[in-house]
């Protein structure tokens, strides 16, 4: 059964700092998604990672996938207040797509 563990669940950080969110999963998959959600809104797609070693970057966010370790990371570089949101990873188990519990990111000025 596919399980997805995301950590940390809550992260408060200063503007300008770097940090990483981790997403571990339990069974084989070669497709992983990262989403952003603002309060009261739906989920916005950030990245889709399709193969081992995949790395994608958009602005201050960079995501990577290691399928052998069953691990994906979302790295935040020089955080700014606008990045405050909840971030989710989701793993595609070929039919089911299972989400982590999310990381609530709060960036302090």
Nearer to other proteins, 9 or 69 (CB): 9
Stretch that binds other proteins, among 17-25, 58-66, 68-76, 85-93 (CB under 8 A): 85-93
Query: Which residue in the set 28, 50, 55, 66 belongs to the binding site for other proteins (CB under 8 A)?
Result: 50
| 68 scored as a contact of other proteins (CB under 8 A) | no
Nearer to other proteins, 24 or 77 (CB): 24
Asked if residues 102 and 86 have their Cβ atoms less than 8 Å apart, the reply is: yes
Nearer to other proteins, 80 or 104 (CB): 104
Q: Taking the complex as a whole, how short is the minimal distance between the CB of residue 3 and other proteins, in angstroms?
A: 10
- Smallest CA-to-CA distance from 4 within 84, 85, 90, 83 is with 90
| 43 scored as a contact of other proteins (CB under 8 A) | yes
Supply φ then ψ for residue 89, to 5 degrees: -105, 155
- Tokens 């995301």 belong to residue: 6
| 42 scored as a contact of other proteins (CB under 8 A) | yes
Rounded CA-CA distance 65/78 in Å is: 21
- 3-state SS, residue 8: coil
């Amino acid at each position: 059964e596919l399980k997805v563990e995301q950590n940390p669940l809550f992260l408060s950080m200063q503007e300008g700092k770097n940090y990483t969110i981790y997403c571990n999963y339990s069974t084989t998959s070669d497709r992983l998604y990262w989403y952003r959600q603002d309060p009261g809104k739906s989920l916005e797609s950030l990245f889709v990672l399709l193969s081992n070693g995949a790395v994608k970057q958009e602005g201050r966010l960079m995501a990577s996938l290691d399928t052998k370790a069953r691990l994906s990371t979302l790295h935040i570089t020089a955080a700014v207040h606008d990045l405050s949101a909840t971030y989710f990873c989701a793993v595609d188990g070929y039919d089911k797509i299972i989400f982590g519990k999310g990381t609530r990111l709060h960036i302090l000025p």
